[in-house]
Amino acid sequence: MERTFSPSEILEYCSKKWFDNPAGISALDLAQHFQITNEAAMRIFESLNELEYGTLNRNVKLYSAHFNPKNVSKSLNFKEEITHIFFPSSKVLATYYEKLGLLRQNIPEYEKRLKLGAGQVNQAYFEEEVLRKYFNHPEKYEVEDSESGGSVLSRGEEIPYIWVRYSKRKLVNGNIVVGAIYKDLAAMSDTDQKYWASYEVKEAKFVEYEKDEAYQRFVKNQFYGEFADYVDPIADISCFLRKINEIAGITIFRQTRNSLVKPPVENTFESFCDSCSELDKLFANGNIDGKNLKNWILQKGWGTESDFICPDKKHPEITSRQMMKLLECKVCGTTALSDLMKECSDYRQQKAHCVDVSSETTSSYSQKFYDLCKRICEAGETLESKIKETSGAQKNG
């Protein structure tokens, strides 16, 4: 005669299993614990599903491993099993969370949500400012950031461990929020979980998935395992600066990368200007080797000595930045990159002089910054291409 069990007996066992590891419970586990057959356990799960105590993944193929404890050197014997996977409902989990005393244990916020039924790969969403702590302390945290998202990893044993992958998603009002999956959030320290919770966006209206290309790349990469090349215009700027150095065969840009260049972590004009200020350092007079640049322009025949004379006579020679504009004008016939460099510099100056921008209507300053970086990349890549093209024509000539 088949042994019978009360629903509460089964649900308490399943809830305990879930609290230990927030994942589905297989009928094989149930069968082993209650010493019944897999088929009997499957029927129990089916009845619980009918009573709406949880949901089922039916007829899942699993493999159980068997070995002889008296002869451990013998290879494992794997057996294919067809079974059900049961997921207790949020209502059931909430009942046993209180009944088993977990409510009194002060479990950290996102670990608690997992125990109460939040999906491990579901996301909670936060203001972009949540990343400020990590951007501001590169000595403590390794941050990889892009327009689609990125990750934060703690450095060293002295720092509370954190490894969180995050997305960036557009809202219908134009703002951008940071999304992090519950599994990563729950693995943080209690302090970090409280920190993230303080920036959580409780209600968010997203743009349609099909219209958010950056977020699509994150989803395809993280959830579907597809190769998705994240758009990182900050890294692309460093790339074209290195390539110009390589083409010239000399150092034009002394530094091709500034690790402090990050998108704004507050949705404010001031934070945007801070980002532009760090970016501007890559195009500053001090970072462009004017002597090398002048010699290269003269050697290539893209200019004459008179081109380098300062028009206002206040200085004997134009600045290194003006030499870059001269190069672009001679090679490309435009000054797109130089104009964008000036735009970036102007934002830095506005911050330095406390310019009032109360009339600003920008929805997302991080998106504005990324768009500026993209335009700089496009202009820089055009310059790089024209230099190659012109140099090739000179060789062939």
Question: How far is 165 from 145, CA to CA, in rounded Å?
Answer: 10
> Residue type at 55?
T
Q: Evaluate if pTM is beyond 0.85.
A: no
Q: What are phi and psi of 288, to 5 degrees?
A: -100, 120
Question: How far is 169 from 124, CA to CA, in rounded Å?
Answer: 11
Question: How far is 393 from 397, CA to CA, in rounded Å?
Answer: 6
pLDDT tens series, the chain, 397 aa: 557 789 999 999 999 999 999 999 999 999 999 999 999 999 999 999 999 999 999 999 987 766 666 665 666 667 788 999 999 999 999 999 999 999 899 999 999 999 999 989 999 999 999 999 999 999 999 999 999 999 999 998 888 999 999 999 999 998 999 999 999 999 999 999 999 999 999 888 999 999 999 999 999 888 877 776 777 899 999 999 999 999 999 999 999 999 889 999 888 888 999 999 999 999 999 999 999 999 999 999 999 999 998 877 677 889 999 999 999 999 999 999 999 999 999 988 886 665 555 555 677 899 999 999 999 999 999 999 999 888 766 655 5
Chain centroid to CA 86: 32
Residues 6+ apart with CB under 8 A from 204: 125, 169, 171, 177
Q: What are phi and psi of 85, to 5 degrees?
A: -115, 125
Contact 250, 394 (CB under 8 A): no
Query: Among 372, 261, 287, 383, which Cα is nearest to 331's?
Result: 383
Q: State how far the alpha carbon of 229 is from the alpha carbons of 131, 144, 146, 167, 172, in Å.
A: 22, 13, 10, 14, 25
